[in-house]
Structure formats: structure tokens, C-alpha cells
Structure 1
Amino acid sequence: MTTTPVDSRSRGEAPGPAGLPLLGSMLDLRRDSLGTFLRAQREHGDVVRLEAGPPGLRSVFHAVFAPEGIQQVLASEAANFRKDHPLYEEVRRSFGNGLLTSQDTDYLRQRRLVQPLFTKRRVDGYAAAVTTEAAAVAARWRTAGTPTVDVVREMNRLALCTVSRILFGTDAAAAADAIDRCAPVVNAYVVQRAYVPVKIPREWPTPGNRRARAATDELNALCDRIIAERRTAAAAPADGASAAGAPADGAVPGGDLLSLLTEAGNDEDGSLDATEIREQVLIFLLAGHETTATSLAFTLHLLARHPAEQRRVQEEIDRTLGDRTPTAADLDRLPYLTQALKESMRLYPAAPVISRRAVEATEIGGHRIPAGADVVVAPWVTHRNPALWEDPERFDPGRFAPEREAARHRYAWFPFGGGPRACIGQHFSMLESVLALATLLRAYDLEAVDEEVPVAAGITLQATGPARVLLRPRPHFS
């Protein structure tokens, strides 16, 4: 990508790379969007204007990298920056209009109906489901016949099984298999369509359209079947076991999320119909599976590459837990493990780029953002800004000691977004990650086989290569 600034058409326009005469920065963004954004910030500043695509089909967007500008986009001027970006439209078309993509009155109604399912007390009740799945992974590793595992694949399956158990209860295994098979097909389709200048209509029977439609239909049919069964069960008299309070094998104490969604309602907002429930479930699967898997995988891999930090985390786990299973109450008792997790989320944020569209013209960092402009904020870049983070590529959990965290700008670290659209599942993600990591790191010492893991931006951050680690069972776990 060339570094010649784009000529300013008016005073206050943001600088940016010229790119190629006919395609602008399109090829750079397609080859390595994360690297392109990093170079743009370092060469042109904290508000950058980029052009991509051929004349007549060229898209122009602004990237905002400074915490103050990010706060404008996500929080203080959030009403002016809507989820009208092409990526969100494609997610909406494939997964439905759930909390991630809905807007205005739809979003407010959904948030009010769903929020009670994500209170701290409710989420803490899912701790046993998390530790059950993590303990199963630790036991399987012991009998796997190989001392080396790819933590990207392993944590993807762990997070998928965990969220499936919490969402679907006794139907978790069947759901996890279908999601594992179908979700990657739909995700790749969504990303591909979001960033092409000319979109082939979804209705045309191309091979890509047909594969994506088949995968979407399978996910929809799975959710619809389980929703119908839940509603039938809710209407039927409780049997003896249920009345006695003994949950079926695989059930979640207090009810799985799908059952709770079918019961959610209030006088103001009514309740969710079957289609709305399915759309919420699919968005929860998308947002609660891949994002947590990314955080788990890279935390394990970074600790495997840094044995001194790994030992410090394990000493804290041993001292806090002894031989007992971790619980939700241990979340505050494992501060250094939490710091290591946050540091891995700094280096490998599961949502590396967040997109919006400006409704009205505004100014960010002294530069004009026109009405209708696509705007992105990029945790991947802000989390690596040397003005905010000393030696930013270094893994240092100490950055998240309470006093150092309190001294930083709120939007220097924002893996869960921020403002009124901040991730509703923040507490659940942190709970799941800390308890799963504590379970696995108590059982094994890890040594990195792959030093570097290539990544790319999709709907979420995607590892494009393995992150293999060598497992050594810890003696007290034998």
C-alpha cells in the first residue's frame, strides 16, 4: 500500500493512503485488512480515510483509532452511528434480526426481554456447565494418545459444547454437531458478501448460495424443532422427576437459555415469537461461541509461550482451588489469571474491527465525518498503539493490575465494544473463560509448538493456522 496521502477535497477531511489508481486500497484490505489498518494508523494518524474498489463502485470509509474518537462512535454519539454497515446487513440476512443486528425500537424491546437472562446471578448459575465441559476436555486429553493438541480447534469445540449445553440443555450434543458443521459455511459466506463491490443475488442458484442456504436451513430447522419441543414441554404437566427438582442428564440448573427465552415477557414488550427466539439463539451461538473460543485459545497459547507467566497463573490456581472444582465465586479470587486473559484479549480481540454508519455529519479528532459515511473502530489497532501501550506486542498480564487499568482511558481496551450496544454477554464470557482456563491449567503444563499463529478478520477474529501446544499432565492431577 502506498503512503501518498489522498488529496483533501475539503478542509478537515481525514488523510489516508492513495492505494492503487483503479482499486484504491481494496487489494491490501483483502489480503490483510488488520495489517492494512495498522499501517494506516502509523502512517496517517488516528482518523484515516480509505478508499476501496473500482471507479463507480468505490467505497469510502473512515477508520477511527484513538480512544476519544472511539468513545464518540460507541458511546457519547452512539445514536449517530448505526449498525447499517454491509457486514451487519449480511449477518442480519443470514442469522436474523437478533440483539447483535437489531436497531431502534426492535433492539430496545429485545434488550429488555433478554436482559434478565444475563444478570450476574443468572449467569453465575451456568458455572457448573462450564466446568463440566472443561473437565471433560481435560480428561479426554489424557487418553487422546498424543501429547500435542491444537488449542484453536480444541477451544472452539469446548466453547461450542459449553454454549450449546447452556442454550439447549439436554439437546446440546446434537446442536453442537450441527453448528460445528454449518456455522463456518455461513460465516465465510457472510464475510465474502459484505466486502464485494457487486453482490450476486442470494436467490440465484450458484454453488456458494446453495451451500449457504443449506447450512442456514439446517440451523433454522434445528432451532425450530427444539423450540417447538420446549413449548410443548412447558405446556405439559411436570412429571415426577421434574417436580422433585432432579434435572435430566445434561440439563442446566435453573433452566437452559432457550427455555427461558420461550418464557420471557412483560406487560410492555409482550413476548418473543418462535422466529424471534430462533434469531436470538442463532446470534447467541455466533457471539457466544467463536468469541470465547478465541479468548481461550490465545490465552492458552500465550501462556504456553511464556512459562514464567504460566507458572504464576498455576500457582494462583493451586493456592485458590486446591483439589476442588472452581465456582462462580472464584472469579474474583483468580486476579492474575483474569489479567492474563485480559492481556490475551488485548493482543487477540475476538472482534478485531467494529463497523458503524454515520447518520449525520460530525467531527472526530479534528476531521470531518460526512453523513452516510461508513466508520470502523478497530480494537486490533488501538490495543497495539505504542502511545497507549508500552512495547505493545509484548505479552504482559501486569498491564491489567487494578491501578494500571484505572489509569487508562476507558476505550484504550474495548474487546466487548462499549456504550449502549456493549456486549450483553460480557460477564458470561469472562466467567466461562476464567473457569475453563482454571480447570485446564490446573491439570496440564503447556509448551508451545507453534510460536506464531496467523490470523485474519472475519465476523470474528479467525486463526488461519494451528496453535499447537505440548501437554504435560501435572503430577497432582494424575
Structure 2
Amino acid sequence: MAVGADAGVGAGAGAEVPVLGGVPLLGSLPDLKADSLGTYLRAQHQHGDVVRIDAGPPGLRAELYCVFSPEGAQQVLASESANFRKDNHFYQEVRESFGNGLLTAQDGDYLRQRRLVQPLFTRRRVDGYAGAVAAETAAVLDGWAGAPDGVVDVSDQMMHLALRAVARILFGTDVETTADVVARSFPVITEYVLRRGYSPANIPRTWPTPGNRRAAAALDELYGVCDQIIEQRRRGGSEAAGEDLLTLLAAARSADDREFDAAELRDQVLIFLLAGHETTATSLCFALHLLARHPEQQDLARAEVSRVLGARTPEAADLDRLPFLGQVVKEAMRLYPAAPVIGRKSVAATRIAGYAVPAGADVILAPWVTHRHPAHWPDPDRFDPGRFTPEAEAGRPRYAWFPFGGGPRACIGQHFSMLESVLALAMILRAYAFEAVDTEIPVSAGITLRTEGPARCRVRRLDA
């Protein structure tokens, strides 16, 4: 179906959306709680590209309109993006904890923020962060020399690497203080957001329950360190002031927009910390895990690194010189998208693929499912970096692969994510060979894709 062929705001007439079967009273709620990603896959396999999933008891029941085709994703994210807003319950919980930054802001707030931030994410500016990525990768690799039995948990290690890299880019030499606080507070806050975001009803955050108190303490610590560094930047009293991203954000202004105030700066910092480390960590973790399980592909990737880099430190220009490594990262993002589920709420009634979607509907896109759509991905669970040659990419619909979202709200940091992932992966593969210890890695959908347990690899130093 051509995008928009039967779509349009106000075009509410259409076929009734098929409903995934569930249990009496609770519908599909038990299935979603046990395995939401598997439930979305089953819905697509049983009913096709537009499916309604009902979850929860009568009176608190959520009706989720799930859209699994590339054309439907393009309609929601791009061609009809104004009709699908971030007004759902889950985004509100993210907004209340992590602030009204680029990920969560809407309307005029979002447009102003985007105008102020966009100049800081040009390719030339982002390429300047390659040195920070290389330095933090080298520090992680140095720590592997003493790994017990030569085994490392690449999930934990890539989270550490990505956090350190984004904190250094944001805060400059203040990285030591901030990285420790983020590592300590983020798991508490994200678990709190998830619990509230997926619950049909919540008690007020101000009630002094143990969960509320733990989250409030973590938020206070996180806000405190960010506010302290922001105040130093505003006074010009920090040795770190210069070209780090926070300093540039503090100075950002345009002819039409006032600069960020202190609270707005903190909101941007928190969103960049959230989106900038968990997403890249996921991509790196699974790229290593997949290469560890496929030694022939690992050898091809390492040969490219050796041919292009030799013994020198990678730089930004090497991103284009390492095409196979880029294909590995893209294939890892296909199989394990860091944002496996994307939610929106419809403003007006419309049609998607001929099916009626009412005004006010909770609409779910699932890259986890679309990236496995059998019409576009033969043998979809097989790891094959060759899917991302330029010729193969040109033969698929634009939204058959959308790990960075799309449309006017596409991720502003996608070039940085690819730069960090490819350069870090190049350094890691040059230094170590990998063999998978954990061959299957259970995952679940949180704010980002989460591993449920370790992703251990046995590593062997190549220059030993």
C-alpha cells in the first residue's frame, strides 16, 4: 500500500481492527507483563500489520492499536506525525522524572529546543567527539587484562563505556563526579518510571512510600550534581568550561529564541544522559555478542579494521572507511533496537492500512517487530550484516529499519551513535577476540531495550 493512500486525519471510517485474544477480565495484560516483545510478535504473526491489544480489567483497560508495517510507521512518524503525539501515560512518567527535554517536549517547546540544539549536532561538531570516544574505549580495554578466567560481561562493560563517553562529552573534566552519580541513580529512576509507566493507576509521587522515597532520593542526587555544574558554567568558574556540550548548550541562542534557563539546561542534560548512553550501550553490547557467536563475521570485521587503521587511533573520518563495521552495527540495531517500542496518542480519527484508528487511541509502533517483518527481512532472526550494503538498503522501504525513529522527531544524536559505536567497536576488535559464553541473552522492553542477565564473552588479547 502506498503511504497515505487511505490515510488522513478525519478519515475515521475503515475496517475494524482485529483484536489479539487474551484471558477473561485482564485481556492480554498477563502476556504483556510476561513478555511484551513476544506478544507484539505473536500479534503480527496471527493478525497482520494492524492489531488491537486489550490489556487490563474493565474500567482500567488499555486499548493498544499496534502498527507493524513500514508504511504504517512512516504514516505515524512522518506523513501524519502531527496527528500522533507524545501524550500517553508512559511519556508523562518519563517527563516527570527526566524533564521536558528534546525526547519529551512537544509543540512550541520542542521546536524552540530543536532550533537551539541542532547547531550543536552538525556532523562536523559531532566528529569532534571522536577523541573522547577513543579515550574512554581505551580505558575500558585496559581494565580487561585482569578479567577472571578471561570473561567479561559486555552488557555491563558497554554501559560503563557509553556512560563515560557521553558524560565526558557533556561535562568535560567533571566526568568523574557525574558518571558515578548517574551510574548509581539512573537504575533506581528508570525502574520507578517503568513501574509507574506500565501501571494503569498510580498513587501520587508525593506520598511517602518506600518506592517514592527511593526515587526522590535518586532524583535529588542526580538533579543536584547537574545543577551544581550548570551553575559553575553560568558563572564561568569551572576549569571544564570550554567546548564540552554543556558549555555550548548554556551559550546556545538564536535570533528568535531566548537561551535555556538553568532548569531547561538540566532537562536537556538529563535527556542526553538517558538517550545518549543506554541506546549506544545496547548497540555495542549486541554487536559484540553477535560477532562472538559468528566467528567468520568477526574475522571479516577485524580484517577491515586492521586494513584501515593499522595501529593508529581511529578518528571520525574512519566512520566512512569502515563500511562492513557499519553494517555490523546496523544489523545489531535491527535485531536488538535500543527503542524496541514507540508509543503515540492519536489526535483525530484516521485510517492506517485501511483500518479505523479512533481519536485518542494509544498507538504502538514496534521496531522489534517491523525489523523482523517477513516481507522485508528473509530469515529475519539470522545475523547477516550483508543486509545493509547500499544496494540492499535501497531495495527496502524507508521505515523497514528505524532504530532512530523518523520524521520531524527523528533522533538528533543518530550520527553520534553511529560514530561512537563504529569507532569503539573497531578498537575493541583490534585488541581482543571474542567467544560467546552466554549464547542466548533474554531481553525486555524498558525505557530502552534491557538485557535480563549477563551477556558474557570470553576474551583473548590479540597482542599478548
| Distance of 1:432 and 1:115 partners within structure 2 | 19
Mean Cα displacement is larger for which, 131-140 or 324-333? 131-140
The code of the aligned residue for 1:43 comes to Q
**1:305-320 correspondence runs (5 A):** 305-320=293-308
Q: Deviation per CA, 1:36-77, whole angstroms, max 9, x where unpaired? A: 000000001100011111011111120000011110000000
Instruction: Determine whether 1:73 maps to 2:71.
Output: no
Note the C-alpha offset of 1:11.
6.0
**1:52-131 correspondence runs (5 A):** 52-131=55-134
| Distance of 1:143 and 1:207 partners within structure 2 | 39
Within the candidate set 246, 266, 270, 1:258 is matched to 246
Within the candidate set 196, 199, 202, 1:199 is matched to 202
| Distance of 1:208 and 1:174 partners within structure 2 | 25
The code of the aligned residue for 1:425 comes to G
Instruction: Determine whether 1:269 maps to 2:272.
Output: no
Instruction: Determine whether 1:216 maps to 2:219.
Output: yes
2:14–2:351 CA contact under 8 A, matched in 1? no
| Distance of 1:228 and 1:419 partners within structure 2 | 35
The code of the aligned residue for 1:467 comes to A
- Helix, strand or coil at the partner of 1:265: coil
The code of the aligned residue for 1:378 comes to A
**1:265-414 correspondence runs (5 A):** 265-414=253-402
- Helix, strand or coil at the partner of 2:256: coil
The code of the aligned residue for 2:77 comes to L
Structure 1 residues 391 and 311, CA gap change in structure 2 (3 angstroms): same
Note the C-alpha offset of 1:142.
1.6
Note the C-alpha offset of 1:139.
1.4
2:14–2:354 CA contact under 8 A, matched in 1? no
Q: What is the count of residue pairs matched by the alignment?
A: 452
The code of the aligned residue for 2:118 comes to Q
Within the candidate set 25, 44, 48, 1:45 is matched to 48
| Distance of 1:43 and 1:266 partners within structure 2 | 51
- Helix, strand or coil at the partner of 2:381: coil
Equivalent position of 1:466 in the other structure: 454
Structure 1 residues 233 and 366, CA gap change in structure 2 (3 angstroms): same
| Distance of 2:191 and 2:315 partners within structure 1 | 36
| Distance of 1:386 and 1:80 partners within structure 2 | 28
- Helix, strand or coil at the partner of 1:50: strand
Note the C-alpha offset of 1:387.
1.5
The code of the aligned residue for 2:321 comes to R
**1:168-187 correspondence runs (5 A):** 168-187=171-190
The code of the aligned residue for 1:155 comes to M
| Distance of 1:267 and 1:402 partners within structure 2 | 39
Within the candidate set 450, 456, 460, 2:438 is matched to 450
| Distance of 1:146 and 1:287 partners within structure 2 | 33
| Distance of 2:163 and 2:97 partners within structure 1 | 19
Gaps of 5+ in 2: 1-12
Note the C-alpha offset of 1:210.
0.7
The code of the aligned residue for 1:261 comes to L
| Distance of 2:209 and 2:391 partners within structure 1 | 56
**TM-score of the superposition, structure 2-length normalised?**
0.96
Instruction: Determine whether 1:228 maps to 2:216.
Output: no
**TM-score of the superposition, structure 1-length normalised?**
0.93
Note the C-alpha offset of 1:406.
0.8
Equivalent position of 2:7 in the other structure: none
The code of the aligned residue for 1:326 comes to P
Note the C-alpha offset of 1:145.
4.7
The code of the aligned residue for 2:28 comes to S
2:130–2:420 CA contact under 8 A, matched in 1? yes
Q: Deviation per CA, 1:270-300, whole angstroms, max 9, x where unpaired? A: 1000000000000000000100000000000
- Helix, strand or coil at the partner of 2:236: helix
The code of the aligned residue for 2:94 comes to V
Equivalent position of 1:420 in the other structure: 408
Q: Which runs of 4+ in 1 moved over 3 A?
A: 143-146
| Distance of 2:198 and 2:442 partners within structure 1 | 21
Root-mean-square deviation (CA, aligned residues, Å) is 1.2
Within the candidate set 144, 151, 175, 2:154 is matched to 151
Equivalent position of 2:5 in the other structure: none
| Distance of 2:273 and 2:220 partners within structure 1 | 15
| Distance of 1:454 and 1:388 partners within structure 2 | 25
- Helix, strand or coil at the partner of 1:141: coil
- Helix, strand or coil at the partner of 2:313: coil
Note the C-alpha offset of 1:146.
3.9
Structure 1 residues 11 and 315, CA gap change in structure 2 (3 angstroms): closer
| Distance of 1:19 and 1:331 partners within structure 2 | 47
| Distance of 2:288 and 2:230 partners within structure 1 | 35
Q: Deviation per CA, 1:290-334, whole angstroms, max 9, x where unpaired? A: 000000000001000000000000000000000100000000000
Instruction: Determine whether 1:434 maps to 2:437.
Output: no
Q: Deviation per CA, 1:141-173, whole angstroms, max 9, x where unpaired? A: 123454000000000000000001001111101
Equivalent position of 1:17 in the other structure: 20
| Distance of 1:135 and 1:399 partners within structure 2 | 30
Note the C-alpha offset of 1:126.
0.3
- Helix, strand or coil at the partner of 2:25: coil
The code of the aligned residue for 1:398 comes to G
